[in-house]
Amino acid sequence: MRIFKFGGASVKDAEGVKNVARILEMVGHSDTLIIISAMGKTTNALEVVVRNYFEKKNFQESIDVVKNFHYEIIRDLFSNENHPVYWKVDGLFAELISFLERNKSPKHSFVYDQVVSFGELISTTIISQYLNDCGIKNTWLDVRNLIKTDSNFRDAAVNWEDTQENIVNNVNKSLLNITQGFMGSDSNFFTTTLGREGSDYTAAIFAYCLDAESVTIWKDVPGVLNADPRYFEKTELLHKIPYTEAIELAFYGASVIHPKTLQPLQRKEIPLFVKSFINPTSSGSSVCNVTELEPKVSCFILKKGQVLISLSSLDFSFIVEENISYIFKLLHDAKMKVSVIQNSAISFSVCVDNKFDTLSDLLEKLKARFKVSVFENVDLYTVRHATEQSIKEIESNKEVLLKQVLQNTVQLVVLG
Ligand code: ADP
Ligand code: ASP
Ligand code: MG
């Protein structure tokens, strides 16, 4: 069985949905399970709904933005005004609004997951209906009946045993199945999400549980490049990538692949193909069981909007095991994702991603025990297989706040 994943960029408008149908006709769709993300930037728009709901302002306007965006796509795809897709999508919006009207929970992360997951429910409903109309007969599956997680809302961890059992027992391999990326449900059947951009990971979960022959993620780039073309001018396509290299690239922030995607695939040696939805027949990149990156070039990763926190002891004492374990406990409690660490006898620097908006709380706790300086909005460059020339290019005209040279990897934190 093959697993395909179509991300937000591939289904950002009616033309994108039509293109998905064309790709399926072109590459075939038997023995295939398709994971689909929310359309375009819907998840961001639903984040605004959540924010406005808690701030009690412009709530209706923010819902209307999401509604109008989807109904425009629907009108483009379905000429029949009485098509069942209308009442299905109406039903989903009614469910979303009814949840918010009834909700009594003040917990932001819980409400967030119940709301943003509608992006995937709506997109898969529209696309499943459209493909059926095009003669690509498919079954729509609610992923919440399959992927079980803990209740760590917004960053839920998969319960592999239950998930494996559900997937094996409920996915009919002889049909074309369509389901949602990014989401699952906890033991109380509340919706959970796996972390932003998590639909690639969903594809890997299904691949692992179904012993799939491959996963293909369809992107707006020709494959995995040696740098993000949004920020770097000359880029090269990486044809073959060992799992370990792909894990490193994704971990350091090459956002073309969600970092959690690789581990389940590597464990079963399932190849991951990253292909262009614009040129579906071009070869793209394969992450697979090879030993060397091909071509062997320097790879550049830029993570913007990071926070550099530097700590030193108040009394000139060493920052050693006891302090470090305390610092890490605070970072863990604040759900900070740590990108770089550097320490000396009396100082400790850490570059973090303030994903869950917990920075001010964390700083307050750190200040009680350390002298703290903070640079917000710094850029983190990571270079794999760096050459002196490639480092020089990054350093030129920038103020470097921290530099770390490891065997294969150079990291630079610079003022944004
Ligand atoms: P999806 O539509 O599946 O959510 P993403 O937008 O998450 O797709 O991923 C594709 C984007 O990843 C590209 O548009 C590109 O800007 C970015 N990207 C970051 N690093 C790389 C890289 N090394 N190679 C290719 N694309 C990259
Ligand atoms: N829709 C989700 C997001 O935008 C998941 C995904 O696209 O992978 O984060
Ligand atoms: Mg994405």
CB-based burial label for 293 (10 Å; 0-12, 13-18, 19+): buried
369 among the known binding-site residues? no
The residue whose C-alpha atom lies closest to atom 3 belonging to ligand 2 is: 197
The residue whose C-alpha atom lies closest to atom 9 belonging to ligand 1 is: 256
Helix H or strand E encompassing 174: none
317 has pLDDT over 90: no
User: CA–CA separation, 303 vs 381, rounded Å?
Assistant: 7
Any idea which ligand is nearest the CA of 276? 1
Q: So what's the pLDDT on residue 313?
A: 87
Query: Nearest 10 degrees: CA dihedral of 87, 88, 93, 98?
Result: 90
- Decide whether any atom of ligand 1 lies within 6 Å of the 298 Cβ: no
State the average pLDDT over residues 288-303. Answer: 96
| CATH 3.30.2130.10 location in the chain | 299-415
* DSSP one-letter string for 84-111: HHHHHHHHHHHHHHHHHHH-----HHHH
Pocket residues for ligand 2 (CB within 6 Å)? 7-8, 37-38, 43, 119, 181-182, 196-199
User: CA–CA separation, 226 vs 156, rounded Å?
Assistant: 30
Cβ(351)–Cβ(293) under 8 Å? no
Q: Which residues pair with 403 in a beta bridge?
A: 412
* DSSP one-letter string for 190-245: -EEE--TTTHHHHHHHHHHHHT-SEEEEEESSSS-BSS-TTT-SS--B--EEEHHH
pLDDT tens digits, one per residue of 65-115: 999 999 999 999 999 999 999 999 999 999 999 999 999 999 999 999 999
316 has pLDDT over 90: no
- Decide whether any atom of ligand 1 lies within 6 Å of the 17 Cβ: no
Ligand 1 center–CA 84 separation, angstroms: 34
- Decide whether any atom of ligand 1 lies within 6 Å of the 7 Cβ: yes
- Decide whether any atom of ligand 1 lies within 6 Å of the 297 Cβ: no
| CATH 3.40.1160.10 location in the chain | 2-219
Question: Measured from the CA of 226, which atom of ligand 1 is nearest?
Answer: 23
pLDDT mean across residues, the chain: 95
Domain 2-219 has CATH 3.40.1160.10: yes
pLDDT tens digits, one per residue of 378-389: 999 999 999 999
DSSP 3-state of 30 = coil
197 among the known binding-site residues? no
- Please identify every residue whose CB atom is under 5 Å from ligand 3, which is an ion: 7, 197
Any idea which ligand is nearest the CA of 197? 2
Quickly state the pLDDT bin for 320 (edges 50, 70, 90): confident
Q: Compute CA 133 distance to the chain's CA centroid, rounded to the nearest angstrom.
A: 30
State the average pLDDT over residues 315-323. Answer: 81
CATH class held by domain 299-415: alpha beta
State the average pLDDT over residues 330-350. Answer: 92
Any idea which ligand is nearest the CA of 6? 1
Helix H or strand E encompassing 295: none
- Decide whether any atom of ligand 1 lies within 6 Å of the 134 Cβ: no
Q: Compute CA 318 distance to the chain's CA centroid, rounded to the nearest angstrom.
A: 38
State the average pLDDT over residues 21-35. Answer: 96
Q: So what's the pLDDT on residue 18?
A: 98
Q: So what's the pLDDT on residue 322?
A: 82
Q: Which tokens in the block code for residue 243? A: 């799992």
The dihedral sign for the CA sequence 311, 315, 320, 326? negative
35 has pLDDT over 90: yes
Tell me the CA distances in angstroms from 174 to 116, 137, 351, one per residue in order: 31, 12, 48
Query: pTM score, two decimals?
Result: 0.93
The residue whose C-alpha atom lies closest to atom 15 belonging to ligand 1 is: 228
Quickly state the pLDDT bin for 318 (edges 50, 70, 90): confident
For the chain, what is the radius of gyration of the CA atoms? 23
Question: Measured from the CA of 249, which atom of ligand 1 is nearest?
Answer: 23
pLDDT tens digits, one per residue of 128-166: 999 999 999 999 999 999 999 999 999 999 999 999 999
